[in-house]
């Protein structure tokens, strides 16, 4: 049995979104790389054309592409920050002093160490172990996520938790 405090903070949510978006999904990484290369190629072509023709139109086009690329990045950051803030505000009060007990059969959610809800492991649709961040993310199909930081373990050891999650992850992959 492992008991671990959950921490629904803005910082944790941000880390989760960044991890999910940038590190755990190869498709996203590839898409972002393609997106970046395309923008860079268009901007470089415009500059080359400007150098060859000295037509200011190409310089304006290169600038427009750069502004568009920067705008996209800023939009993404603002959007993520806004979503994180909303989620953090929504969950902050209810998640105070919350912890989960993980056993072989189920996950029990506790408040002030008193159980008030439980779910089977079947409900968990993905398990991500962020080894660098020393955190595990357990997500459900509905989009809910449990953020488990190893430093917040109350009962049990980090090794135990990692092993349990690795076993559950193997089972998940078998289901898939």
Partner 1 sequence: MLNYQKKLEEQLSEICSQSRKSLLLHACCAPCSSYVIEYLSEFFDITLLYFNPNISPEEEYRKRFAELERLIGEMPLKSSVRLMAGRYDTREFFDVVKGLEELPEGGERCFKCYRLRLEEAARTGRERGFDFFGTTLSISPHKNAEKLNLIGEELGERYGIRYLYGDFKKRNGYKRSIELSEIYGLYRQNYCGCVFSRMEAEKRGKG
Beta-sheet strands, E only, within the chain: 2-5, 98-102, 106-111, 114-120, 124-130, 135-140, 145-149, 153-155
**Which residue is associated with the tokens 């989620």?**
87
When asked if residue 30 is in the footprint of partner 1 (CB under 8 A), the reply is no
Candidate list 134, 144, 155, 157; residue touching partner 1; CB under 8 A: 134
Cα separation, 62 vs 46, whole angstroms: 5
Q: Specify the 3-state DSSP secondary structure of 95.
A: coil
**Which of the ranges 8-16, 54-62, 68-76, 128-136 carries the binding residues for partner 1, by CB under 8 A?**
128-136
Options 39-47, 52-60, 81-89, 130-138: segment touching partner 1 (CB under 8 A): 130-138
Q: Computed from CA positions of residues 141, 145, 149, 155, in that sequence, does the dihedral angle turn out positive or negative?
A: negative
- The nearer residue to partner 1, 96 or 163, going by C-beta atoms, is 163
Task: Indicate which single residue of 24, 87, 152, 169 sits in contact with partner 1 (rule: CB under 8 A).
Answer: 169
Residue 106 binds partner 1, judged by CB under 8 A = no
Q: What angle do CA 70, 76, 82 make, to 5 degrees?
A: 135
CA-wise closest residue to 69 among 45, 38, 48, 44: 38
Among 29, 51, 57, 166, binds partner 1 (CB under 8 A): 166
Token match 């007990």: residue?
Answer: 101
Q: Is 174 in the site for partner 1 (CB under 8 A)?
A: yes
Contact string 47-86 vs partner 1 (x = CB under 8 A): ----------------------------------------
* 142: CB partners within 8 A, 6+ apart: none
The distance of closest approach from Cβ of residue 94 to partner 1 in the complex, given in angstroms and rounded to an integer, is 28
Is 93 or 105 the residue whose CB approaches partner 1 more closely? 105
Binding site for partner 1 (CB under 8 A): 131-132, 134, 150-151, 163, 166-167, 169-170, 173-174
């Amino acid at each position: 049995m492992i008991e671990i405090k959950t921490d629904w903070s803005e910082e944790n949510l941000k880390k989760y979104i960044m991890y999910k978006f940038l590190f755990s999904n190869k498709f996203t990484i590839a898409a972002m790389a393609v997106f970046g290369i395309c923008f860079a190629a268009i901007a470089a072509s415009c500059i080359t054309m400007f150098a060859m023709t000295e037509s200011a139109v190409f310089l304006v086009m290169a600038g427009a592409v750069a502004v568009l690329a920067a705008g996209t990045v800023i939009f993404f950051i603002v959007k993520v920050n806004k979503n994180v803030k909303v989620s953090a505000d929504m969950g902050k009060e209810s998640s105070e002093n919350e912890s989960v007990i993980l056993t072989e059969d189920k996950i029990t959610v506790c408040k002030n160490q008193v159980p008030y809800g439980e779910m089977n492991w079947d409900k968990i649709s993905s398990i991500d172990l962020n080894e660098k961040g020393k955190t595990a993310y357990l997500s459900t199909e509905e989009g809910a996520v449990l953020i488990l930081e190893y430093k917040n373990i109350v009962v049990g050891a980090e090794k135990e938790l990692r092993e349990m999650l690795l076993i559950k992850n193997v089972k998940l992959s078998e289901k898939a």
